[in-house]
Structure 1
Amino acid sequence: MAAKLRPIRTKLIKDPSDHDSDGDGIDEPVTPAGSLFFNSGFNLHILVILGFKSPININNFKAGLRDTILKHKRFCSIIKENDKGELYWVPTPVNLDDHIVIVESDNADVGSLTFVEDYTAKLAQSLPLDPSRPLFEFHIVKAKLGDAAENLIFRVHHAVGDGTSLMSLLLACTRKANQPDSLPTLPTLAHKSPRKHTVFEALGVYLWSFLVILWLTFLDICSLLATMLWLEDSQTPLKGYAGIERLQRRLAHKTVSMDDIQLVKEATHGTVNDVVFGMIAAGMSRYLQQSGSTKTQMAHLRVRACALVNTRKSPGLQELKSMMAGGSQARWGNNMGYIILPVPLLPGESPLNYVYKAKTIIDKKKLSLGAAFSYISGKILIRLIGSEVPKRLTYNCTLHTTFAFSNVFGPLEEIELFGHPVTHIIPTVAGQPQALCVHVQSYMGKVTLVVSSAKDIIPDPDRLCQYMVCALEDMKKMLPPRKEE
């Protein structure tokens, strides 16, 4: 089903004291979460690899950036601190050449099939972006990866915005490959029509739903607080330790068909997220078994994912397009909450059981307001006592869990960026104290699994990634034969 573009917002947010809005003043306050990420002890960077069918035309690329991204406030501002210790975005001139790095093809390693992934992994561990300039870079890597003739690595500081906002902004710069004047089509969630109830039945349903939401939220808050303070995952071949964010990393990715995921989704009456998380859980289970963990040991392991959730509706592509053309300024910033996802480890059971278990876990998280609580409470803490305590709690939340997880839906059809057809989109994040990050990105009927790992803990992320792909194949084999129409 085609995504409906949201209407252009014309009402400006004029209250400059709102730290989540784009005020009319010259200096815009950095969001509370942005202040946290900018802290020298918690420097997070988002990296996205875009593959192109043909070599990148540098002049066209620069012209496209000037007409789009450089018109966004965050990409032509730097962060400064005022007399009160508050951080603000301050407009500054931008020399685009300072933000574009060209990796020449005469490098002896450029012929390697993993050169782009290896370069991205090294980039993830390089020095933080220069705070005296806007916090972004584009690395043009003249090397092949998959079907791509050349690749572009977009590196941006997490203080600029959350992953959802940044991906939306990037996609707003693209157009359909077969319709250069049209924005990409994004998938939409199918909503079931609610069953009609009598007045008394409706009251009962609402009351029961309220109690369920209240209970699940309470459980999530308790789990989050315990994780921030003392509750730590079991020490496994996947678990990191304090300081691991400074160690060398490796990157791997695999691509599967969305049609295959849809087959499992329909058979299990779940969602794409259920199937994907089930694949990840099954792949991790196999990896732990291959690493020497027994079934008895795995039954007592605590393995959890720390996932960031966007707590507000992200700007529509049409709205972002208008914003970059000088129209309305969409609300921006880091509006994210945390959820903790327990990973089912079910060695010896049917692969489909991972999907059923994942569905049970995710369905509960959908009803909980735990993510909203983590965002609001963190925001209040930062404003009341500063960023030091929230920084420590956030650090603990990631340190005490096994891996970071995110899932982003991309365009349904082929897109092009400034006239360059895109072959793949590969996102990842660097700087968090976890040995493992798993990101999932859909694009053009395919789903890409991206695994980033600390080399000293997980030296073979490609093997772990392959186990996740094999899990989907095993699930397909367990499906009942489809009836011929």
Structure 2
Amino acid sequence: MEFEQEEALEPMSPTAQYLKSSVLSLTIMVVLEVEVPIDDSMTIPLLKDVFLPINHRFASIMVSKKSGGKKWKRVEVNLKDHVIVPVFPCDKSKDYYDECFNEYLSKLGMDQLPLNRPLWEIHIFKYPTKNAAGNVIFKLHHSLGDGYSLMGALLSCLKRLDNPSIPLTFPSRQSNSNSGPNLNSHGYFSRVPEFVSGLINTAYNFGSNLLKSSFIEDDKSPIRSGHDGVEHGPFVITTTTFSIEQIKQIKNKLQVTINDVITGIIMYGTRLYMQRANQDSSKEKCTALVLLSTRAIGGYKSVSEMIKPNAEMPWGNRFTFLHVPIPKLTASELNNPLKLVDKAHQIIKRQRNSASVYLIGQFLEAIRKIRGPEATSGYIYGTLKNSSLAISNITGPVEKMALANHPIKGLYFAVVGVPQSLQVTILSYVDNLRIVMSVEKGFIDPNKFKSCMEY
């Protein structure tokens, strides 16, 4: 990467530099499943008139400063370089195109985005699969923004199917009555135990996070190969769908949150797969790295609001992480998965009752100031590599959408470039929850893992 004069360049946020370095490079792939055959004649006009104006980062490349660090530099964008339409034999079966699509997605995840042009691409797979009449894949580098920012950008290109003039809406944010003390009904002394418990949890969780990021790694297991360079190897993506109404029924029955239910399902499916793959693996130590947004999200803001100075929900990367141990599966939990959901609730509740999330962010900033962004990126890489899997989720709209008058049947996303054998991502859309499992090819059996998740 060549050095540039610093005038007319936009500073690159520290987090963006962490996610695009010599050590770590993360990319997000968003798949839109289209209900009708794709007419791609409107692709270039849509990108020119809607997508590029969303944020100038979509028309910028990453350059190095003479003083160190990186900045964004505006460039002319040749849109044809960013639109790829793969060609396969015609008149084949949906099973054939399913295999072609899966292989294409795997190869696409391994290919690095060219640094001499803006860090995004659109791939249009025009062949019918079992799930859709065609697929549109948005490939965007994570340095452009976090899931909230990039989803907001994509939603700017999409419209409500029933009435394009009405904005999309999103599930209301869950309120948590226990999230803080009630100043009107309790005295200060009654909150002392809660305060002390929070301090203890903060010290324990923060110390545990530091140790697991730097020194302690999970055991090798049926879900963690420990292979060097696993982030550069081939992977397989498989998905499963749950009804949000079913998730809510479990939530209400156990008096927990929707996130608790989802986490419990993932933990149960993961442990069940491990046990079926190797009975002895039930004793192995496994940790899930749960990625959390630091935004108080109640719905997506418009992109024009996100890029304003001092915006309430600004554009960029705003996330942190927590180490959540995956509990061992007992005989009673094997026969009653709801018990593991309740256990997941207790684990996450202890994590919530601490300030470790905030301290982790401050610790990363301290590393950057003392040792630079490359060292911080290395720390994040080690954090990912030492854990068994990563979990991240994004909230989608409750109405069906259309892209240039093409109805969207479903959508999901995956993060690639992660030094793990397994990553799980979750995205809600209309009344369904899509869980995506990205697994190391040849090490984890995707079909068996999917069946364990659906068990």
Q: Cα offset for 1:167?
A: 1.6
Residue matched to 1:287: 273
Q: 1:318 to 1:351 in 2, by over 3 A?
A: closer
CA distance in 1, matches of 2:80, 2:128: 23
Matched residue of 2:213: which SS?
Answer: helix
Contact 1:165 1:314 in 2 (8 A): no
Q: Cα offset for 1:305?
A: 0.8
Structure 1: runs of 5 or more not aligned: 1-24, 471-485
CA distance in 2, matches of 1:302, 1:240: 13
Contact 2:152 2:301 in 1 (8 A): no
* Aligned residue runs from structure 1 range 41-80, under 5 A: 41-71=23-53, 72-80=55-63
CA distance in 2, matches of 1:312, 1:416: 27
Q: Cα offset for 1:184?
A: 1.4
Which range is displaced more, 57-66 or 393-402? Answer: 57-66
1:281-319: CA deviations, max 9, x gaps? 11112211211224xx52x32111112212234696443
The amino acid of 1:30's aligned partner reads: M
Residue matched to 2:122: 138
Contact 1:78 1:89 in 2 (8 A): yes
CA distance in 2, matches of 1:330, 1:465: 35
Q: Cα offset for 1:418?
A: 2.6
CA distance in 2, matches of 1:69, 1:203: 52
CA distance in 2, matches of 1:201, 1:32: 42
* Aligned residue runs from structure 1 range 41-440, under 5 A: 41-71=23-53, 72-106=55-89, 111-126=96-111, 128-191=112-175, 201-241=186-226, 242-294=228-280, 298=282, 300-313=283-296, 317-320=300-303, 331-349=314-332, 350-440=336-426
CA distance in 1, matches of 2:452, 2:119: 36
Which range is displaced more, 182-191 or 93-102? Answer: 182-191
**RMSD (CA atoms):** 2.5
Matched residue of 1:119: which SS?
Answer: helix
CA distance in 1, matches of 2:203, 2:17: 28
CA distance in 2, matches of 1:98, 1:184: 31
1:318-345: CA deviations, max 9, x gaps? 43156699xx896222222121111122
Contact 1:449 1:465 in 2 (8 A): no
Residue matched to 2:3: none
Residue matched to 1:476: none
Q: Cα offset for 1:174?
A: 1.8
CA distance in 2, matches of 1:340, 1:93: 42
The amino acid of 1:234's aligned partner reads: D
Contact 1:51 1:145 in 2 (8 A): no
Q: 1:200 to 1:54 in 2, by over 3 A?
A: closer
CA distance in 1, matches of 2:159, 2:307: 14
CA distance in 2, matches of 1:427, 1:291: 27
Q: 1:93 to 1:196 in 2, by over 3 A?
A: closer
The amino acid of 2:206's aligned partner reads: I
Question: TM-score, with normalisation over the residues of structure 2?
Answer: 0.90
1:134-181: CA deviations, max 9, x gaps? 000000011234442110111111111112221222123322110101
Contact 1:337 1:373 in 2 (8 A): no
Contact 2:84 2:122 in 1 (8 A): yes
Matched residue of 2:166: which SS?
Answer: coil
Whether 1:469 aligns to 2:451 is no
1:236-287: CA deviations, max 9, x gaps? 1111323111211111111121122122111111121111111111111221
Q: Cα offset for 1:57?
A: 2.7
Contact 2:240 2:434 in 1 (8 A): yes
CA distance in 2, matches of 1:463, 1:270: 28
Q: Cα offset for 1:105?
A: 4.1
Residue matched to 1:451: 437
Contact 1:239 1:436 in 2 (8 A): yes
Count of matched residue positions in the alignment of Structure 1 and Structure 2: 439
CA distance in 2, matches of 1:182, 1:438: 32
The amino acid of 1:469's aligned partner reads: E
The amino acid of 2:372's aligned partner reads: G
CA distance in 2, matches of 1:230, 1:140: 43
1:196-238: CA deviations, max 9, x gaps? 9686824235444333332222122111110122111121111
Q: 1:251 to 1:193 in 2, by over 3 A?
A: closer
The amino acid of 2:210's aligned partner reads: L
Q: 1:142 to 1:190 in 2, by over 3 A?
A: same
Residue matched to 2:4: none
Contact 1:172 1:318 in 2 (8 A): no
Which range is displaced more, 235-244 or 101-110? Answer: 101-110
CA distance in 1, matches of 2:165, 2:153: 17
Q: 1:339 to 1:420 in 2, by over 3 A?
A: same
Matched residue of 1:103: which SS?
Answer: coil
Question: TM-score, with normalisation over the residues of structure 1?
Answer: 0.84
Structure 2: runs of 5 or more not aligned: 1-6
Identity of aligned residues (%): 28
The amino acid of 1:465's aligned partner reads: K
Contact 2:169 2:299 in 1 (8 A): no
Which range is displaced more, 159-168 or 106-115? Answer: 106-115
Matched residue of 2:58: which SS?
Answer: helix
Which range is displaced more, 353-362 or 417-426? Answer: 417-426
Contact 2:23 2:374 in 1 (8 A): no
Which range is displaced more, 382-391 or 397-406? Answer: 382-391
